Amino acid sequence: MDERVAANRVVWEQASAKHVREYDELLAQARDGELFPREVSLLAPVLADGPLVVHFQSGHGVDDTALVRAGARQVVGVDYSSVAATAAQRRAVDLGSPCRYLVAEVPGVPVRDGCADLVYTGKGALIWMRDLDAWARDAARVLRPGGSLFVYEAHPAVPLWSWDADEPRIRADRSYFADSHVNDSFPGNGAREWQWNLGQIVTAITQAGLRLDVLEEYAEPFWRPADGTAAAAWSGRLPNAYALLAHK
Ligand X SMILES: C[S@@+](CC[C@H](N)C(=O)[O-])C[C@H]1O[C@@H](n2cnc3c(N)ncnc32)[C@H](O)[C@@H]1O
Binding site for ligand X (CB under 6 A): 5, 12, 16, 57-60, 63, 79-81, 84, 105-106, 123-125, 128
Shortest approach of ligand X to residue 106 CB, angstroms? 4
At closest approach, how far in Å is the CB of 237 from ligand X?
25
- The least distance separating ligand X from the CB of residue 59, rounded to whole angstroms, comes to 2
8 Å CB contact between 34 and 40: yes
Instruction: Report the residue number whose CB is nearest to ligand X.
Output: 59
Pairing mode, strands 192-194 and 116-122: unpaired
In the complex with ligand X, the residue whose CB is nearer, 60 or 141, is: 60
* Cβ atoms 66, 88 nearer than 8 A: no
Task: State the nearest-atom distance from the C-beta of 186 to ligand X, in Å.
Answer: 10
Say which residues have a Cβ less than 8 Å from residue 178's Cβ, sequence separation at least 6.
Answer: 159, 195
The runs of H, that is alpha helices, within 172-222 are 198-207
Choice between 185 and 199, CB closer to ligand X? 185
User: Is-contact 61 92, C-beta < 8 A?
Assistant: yes
- 183 or 235: whose CB is closer to ligand X? 183
Dihedral-angle region of residue 187 (phi above 0 means left; psi in -120 to 50 means alpha; beta otherwise): alpha
Of 62 and 210, the one with the shorter C-beta distance to ligand X is 62
